[in-house]
Homo-oligomer: A and B are copies of this chain.
Amino acid sequence: MSERMVVIGGGAAGMSAASAARRTNPALDVVVLESTSYIAYGLCGLPYYLSGVVATADDLFAYPMERFTKDRGIDVRTAAVVTELDPDGQWVVYRMGERTLRLSYSSVVVTAGATPVHVEVPDIGADRTFAVRTLEEAIALRGLLDAGKVGSALVVGAGYIGLEMAEALVARGCSVTVVERLDQVLPTLDPEVAAVVEGHVRERVDLRLGTDACAPGLPVVDLAVVSVGVRPAATLAAVAGAQTGPAGALLVDAQMRTTLPGVWAAGDCIAPLHRVTGEPAYVPLGTTANKTGRVAGTVAAGGSASFPGIVGTAVVKVFDLEVARTGITLAEARAAGIEAVATDVVHRSRAKYYPGGSALHVRLVHGAGGRLLGAQMVGCEGAAQRIDVLATALQAGMTVGDLMALDLAYAPPYSPVYDPILIAAESAARRVEAS
């Protein structure tokens, strides 16, 4: 029998793993078991499909199925739900419709993703409550929107997805109420930065902070979207004995090995190393899913690759704002017992005299000796790509003093002569000097 790799999950991580494995070892038999009907679509694109910015669900597929099956020779089985993983016997059990099947493997890559946390919304039936975590669900919801059946909606949770969904529903002409249990939007930002976003959101939807889905006095709505976070789908591997860490996600080394022999993992079910804290962290994002999937597939197929970790970079479009972060927030630093302060500046995104610029809020979080620990940015332009400068600086272990010396590009249409990053770095460096 030839060697067989089984990949559990056909999302970004799973298809990256499968493709990388076939590239690494073309003789390898690669089977992907995906629980839904679709593989390898842009999960992050669902809000834009709902808003209509993306015209059809087909547009969300990076490649047609044949690219994986015919061109890359991957055996993709959809609607295949894995129910058991036996790392000693080296087999998995999965269900397809009525049938229960067993498949032996020489290596297995767990890319089962994450499942949305469910919240009961009073007075809204299950058929009108959406998590929008799968394409099936998005298609159903888009059907309702296209049919003109949604005049009002409740969004539960004001995280990345909640606000993207609020924007999408507003774009479709809905009257939108957003409730958030916490006292701020975007809990992955520091409150002071989130406040800038909050003001922008309040102008566009009925935003209620410190409020949950059961609070009295909420308007009667046509449907609800629940986006209060996800949990890693790690149970299968955890039950089989794999060690878990933050949020119950699977612990992996830099080669994406779990603690079980012959079992790799990648994507939204793992907690990779956070390079700023030096600890594993659960930050489920598409970029990391793609990268860790590729590493897992390469290594599991006998190749060489490694994933040095994340620095916690993320960006989200919130109506007209670009909202971005990298590293750790001041709140996260304090929770982790890391000495830190935050330096905030607001500066124009372009030369003062060049039209079209707007205010860019920059927060740098820095620790002992001015070491950069994180950054947050909010503005109508210039945040989404500028944050990557700081992500790069974090990877390099720079101080705010090092940032001041960055030779950043300047032309009046794109930035002021002192980029907002340099302004923030100078302000931070002065505080470090004075301390």
**Chain A residues within CB distance 8 Å of chain B:** 12, 42, 44-45, 48, 53-54, 59-60, 62, 275, 285-288, 290-291, 307-317, 322, 324, 326, 351-355, 382, 384-389, 391-396, 398, 402, 405-415, 417-419, 421
B407 contacts A315, CB within 8 Å?
Answer: no
For A286, list chain B residues within 8 Å (CB): 410, 417
Nearest Cβ in chain B — how far from A110, in angstroms? 20
Nearest Cβ in chain B — how far from A400, in angstroms? 13
Residue of B nearest to A305 (CB): B404
B54 contacts A353, CB within 8 Å?
Answer: yes
B411 contacts A395, CB within 8 Å?
Answer: no
B354 contacts A324, CB within 8 Å?
Answer: no
Residue of B nearest to A396 (CB): B396
Partner of A44, one of B59, B308, B313, B412: B412
Beyond A53-B354, A417-B290, is A384–B409 a contact (Cβ under 8 Å)? yes
9 additional A-B residue pairs with CB within 8 Å, beyond A42-B417, A62-B352, A311-B407:
A48-B353, A287-B418, A288-B407, A310-B407, A315-B410, A317-B411, A388-B409, A392-B396, A395-B407
**Of listed A310, A351, A417, A421, residue having the most chain B CB within 10 A:** A417
A315 contacts B414, CB within 8 Å?
Answer: yes
A385 contacts B405, CB within 8 Å?
Answer: no
Complex Cα spacing A406 to B326, Å: 11
B354 contacts A54, CB within 8 Å?
Answer: yes
Residue of B nearest to A310 (CB): B407
Complex Cα spacing A62 to B351, Å: 9
Residue of B nearest to A419 (CB): B388
A392 contacts B410, CB within 8 Å?
Answer: no
For A44, list chain B residues within 8 Å (CB): 351, 410-412, 417
**Of listed A275, A322, A407, residue having the most chain B CB within 10 A:** A407
A391 contacts B407, CB within 8 Å?
Answer: yes
B391 contacts A408, CB within 8 Å?
Answer: yes
Nearest Cβ in chain B — how far from A391, in angstroms? 5
A388 contacts B391, CB within 8 Å?
Answer: no
A287 contacts B12, CB within 8 Å?
Answer: no
Complex Cα spacing A326 to B408, Å: 9
A409 contacts B387, CB within 8 Å?
Answer: yes
Complex Cα spacing A310 to B393, Å: 16
Beyond A396-B396, A417-B286, is A355–B53 a contact (Cβ under 8 Å)? yes
Residue of B nearest to A60 (CB): B353
For A316, list chain B residues within 8 Å (CB): 411
Nearest Cβ in chain B — how far from A135, in angstroms? 12
B413 contacts A317, CB within 8 Å?
Answer: yes
B307 contacts A412, CB within 8 Å?
Answer: no
Complex Cα spacing A394 to B414, Å: 21
Nearest Cβ in chain B — how far from A304, in angstroms? 9
Listed by A's residue number, 29 A-B pairs whose Cβ atoms lie within 8 Å are: A42-B353, A44-B410, A45-B353, A48-B353, A48-B354, A48-B412, A53-B354, A54-B353, A59-B352, A62-B352, A286-B410, A287-B418, A288-B407, A290-B418, A313-B408, A315-B410, A322-B414, A326-B407, A382-B385, A384-B409, A384-B413, A388-B388, A388-B389, A388-B419, A389-B389, A389-B391, A391-B409, A395-B406, A396-B398
Nearest Cβ in chain B — how far from A179, in angstroms? 23
Complex Cα spacing A417 to B315, Å: 12
B417 contacts A12, CB within 8 Å?
Answer: yes
Partner of A408, one of B317, B388, B407, B418: B388
B391 contacts A406, CB within 8 Å?
Answer: yes
Complex Cα spacing A356 to B180, Å: 32
